[in-house]
Amino acid sequence: MVDRLTADRISVENLDAAMELYFERGWTDGLPVVPPTEMKVMEFLDYAGLEPGRPLGDVPERDRVITAEHLAINAVMAGCKKEYMPVLVASVEAICHPDFRFNHMATLGSAWPMLIVNGPMGRDLGFNSGMYLLSSAGNRPSSTVARAISLLFWNCTESRPDGIQRGQFGNPGRGHYCIAENEETSWDPLHVMLGFDREQSTVTAVSTYPGPYQVYCQRTANPELMLDSMADAISTYDFYRGTYILLVPPHFAELFIQRGWSKHDVRRYLMDNCKRSVADLKRRGLWGLHSSEYDGFAGVAQAVQPGDEDRYAYVFKPHEYDRIMFDDTTLLRRSDIYVVVGGGNAGPRLCFLAPYGVSTDPMTVAVHPV
């Protein structure tokens, strides 16, 4: 075999010893890995038609370049099949894209990118779009692609607690958040909403705070009333701007569709109604909390003034209190709701994921088939 890989080789006695080696060196997330042999890694690279040294992503914050070889090694370790390589490559390209920038690996809030696969590859490779959507559901592509991306940044950018990661609580989505959208409804899937052709497979990366938050919404089949519960939940969360993901199970999507509601209508309703009164924000110590230009706040109880009960600040919509509620870094970022159909087709809840929106925007890139 042509010696084309540059990674150091380590000789071990057998497979058991190999698995132990990865624990001892701190090269795994706490679970056993598939030992990456040269033959197996070359299989992955050959399948994808990638030279080992091909740069896939620049991580300037860590002064590292992620190559196809790095990705293939960690994908083997995670238990991927070689057929997942195009999705893995697109995932790295999305996360390393200059408009996404994984510059928040060390954030105390434990943000981690969620991956959403759209188009034929989501369906054909069998990524999970249904029951038990956000956990290990015995679904190999979703579980192993999410894990491969986690291991890649664990091993190549020291994105781990004994490295540079400083998340307070960690993110249970790390190693799990890789889903496909259920594209069986008449709603346009996410990638079509974002301007891609329906037959073009894509990966969307959205940096999310630990969650998800499921919200009981089915007291009624009235769209406004269903969404009022969601608007209330989003507004009660951190009151923070960015791009949220709203997961709508297929039976909910049908309720909206039957009543003539598009994804845009759902998005618009939430944008118009995710709000809190100034009085509420003051009582909860959120008034001005995220702005560096508003003085006299941050944990200090603020006096509710006459009229504050009837004045509102909005999570998504530009409003007169923006400079008080949000910092520059956030105001310059995208404020949006990605409505994605997914999850089990029974049950009374919708689900949202809150973004890390301080210095990143979501990124969608095309998957290039081999």
Partner 1 sequence: MIEVLNPTAGPATGKIMMAERTGTLDGLRLGVIWNGRPYGDRVINSVIDLLRQKYSFESVTFRKKPFIGNVAPASIRDEIVESCDAVITGIGD
Q: Could you say whether residue 370 binds partner 1 (CB under 8 A)?
A: no
Q: Cβ of residue 232: shortest distance to partner 1, in angstroms?
A: 27
Tokens, residue 27: 């090269």
Q: Which of 29, 31, 32, 38 binds partner 1 (CB under 8 A)?
A: 38
Mark 160-199 as b/e (b = at least 16 C-beta within 10 Å). Answer: beebebebeeebebbbbbbbbbbbebebebbbbbeebeee
In one letter, which amino acid is 262? S
* Between 53 and 344, CB nearer to partner 1: 53
* Between 37 and 214, CB nearer to partner 1: 37
Residue 118 and residue 194 in contact, taking contact as beta carbons nearer than 8 Å: no
Q: Could you say whether residue 36 binds partner 1 (CB under 8 A)?
A: yes
Q: Cβ of residue 49: shortest distance to partner 1, in angstroms?
A: 20
- Give the per-residue contact string, 234-273, with partner 1 (x = CB under 8 A; - = no): ----------------------------------------
Q: Cβ of residue 151: shortest distance to partner 1, in angstroms?
A: 7
The whole-angstrom separation of Cα 27 and Cα 158 is 10
Q: Could you say whether residue 13 binds partner 1 (CB under 8 A)?
A: yes
In sequence order, the 6+-apart residues with CB closer than 8 A to the CB of 316 are: 241, 270, 271, 274, 335, 336, 337
Q: Could you say whether residue 168 binds partner 1 (CB under 8 A)?
A: no
Residue 368 and residue 221 in contact, taking contact as beta carbons nearer than 8 Å: no
Q: Cβ of residue 284: shortest distance to partner 1, in angstroms?
A: 17
Q: Which stretch binds partner 1 (CB under 8 A): 37-45, 198-206, 315-323, 340-348?
A: 37-45
* Between 10 and 221, CB nearer to partner 1: 10
Q: Which SS3 state, helix, strand or coil, does residue 205 take? A: strand
The whole-angstrom separation of Cα 337 and Cα 262 is 13
The whole-angstrom separation of Cα 19 and Cα 34 is 7
* Between 22 and 177, CB nearer to partner 1: 22
The whole-angstrom separation of Cα 350 and Cα 136 is 19
Q: Cβ of residue 283: shortest distance to partner 1, in angstroms?
A: 20
282-341 binders of partner 1 (CB under 8 A)? 290-292, 298, 327-329, 332
Q: Could you say whether residue 21 binds partner 1 (CB under 8 A)?
A: yes
Tokens, residue 250: 């297929």
Residue count at the site for partner 1 (CB under 8 A)? 50
Q: Could you say whether residue 3 binds partner 1 (CB under 8 A)?
A: no
Is 8 buried (19+), middle (13-18) or exposed (0-12) by CB count in 10 A?
exposed
Tokens, residue 332: 């310059």
In which residue are the tokens 């404020």 written?
335
- The enclosing H or E element of 233 equals helix 223-236
Is 318 buried (19+), middle (13-18) or exposed (0-12) by CB count in 10 A?
exposed
53-112 binders of partner 1 (CB under 8 A)? 60-67, 70, 73-74, 77, 101, 103-104, 108
Residues of the shown chain interacting with partner 1 in the complex, contacts defined by CB under 8 A: 5, 7-15, 18, 21-22, 27, 35-38, 41, 60-67, 70, 73-74, 77, 101, 103-104, 108, 151, 155-157, 290-292, 298, 327-329, 332, 358-360
